[in-house]
Structure 1
Amino acid sequence: MTQISVERKHSLGRAAAREKAEALVDKLTREYDLKAQWNGDRVEVRRSGANGSIDIGDDSIRVELKLGMMLSMMGGTIKAEIERALDKALA
């Protein structure tokens, strides 16, 4: 199992960061067949072969993702895509 952890700082404030995270999660659920469950400022995401969470803080967003054996081979690509998507969403 591969563990991916990505954190990005922001100066948007929690409410604005959550709005951007919600838009990003909506996009990812459509594109990658993710299931998302919000609980306050944390969203749990899962799909076959992967599960994790996104935590929205006052000055950072943290993504934790565990990949199963099949997706582990693409761990570097998946991490790069998460980093790119976060950078774009927080710009």
Structure 2
Amino acid sequence: MTHLHSVRGGVGGGRPQGGKPQLPAFCRTRRPTTTVYVSNLRDLYRLLLLVLVFQLSTLLLVIAGPVPPRLPSVGTNTVFRPDAGTAAGEVPPVTPLSDR
């Protein structure tokens, strides 16, 4: 029987001498109460709405895809016009204008 008594009364086991069970230190300390104001919740709600608007706008930009290049307007004259026989990567020859 002494073996059973020593297991129950070993280090950390059983009750302390006072008769009441003791809680660990982190359970015995009181934490200060935290007050949450309604204005803080409103600010947090507004911030959440702002983040959602940015996410929605980003999603719409991704869905829209790349913007096609602008077409040249009809009234502009370009100096370099590719000849019908030139390749796409080849630069057409430039001739200076004669003075009249």
TM-score with structure 2 length normalisation? 0.20
Q: Which has the higher strand share?
A: 1
Q: Which has the higher helix share?
A: 1
Higher Rg of the two aligned structures? 2
TM-score with structure 1 length normalisation? 0.22
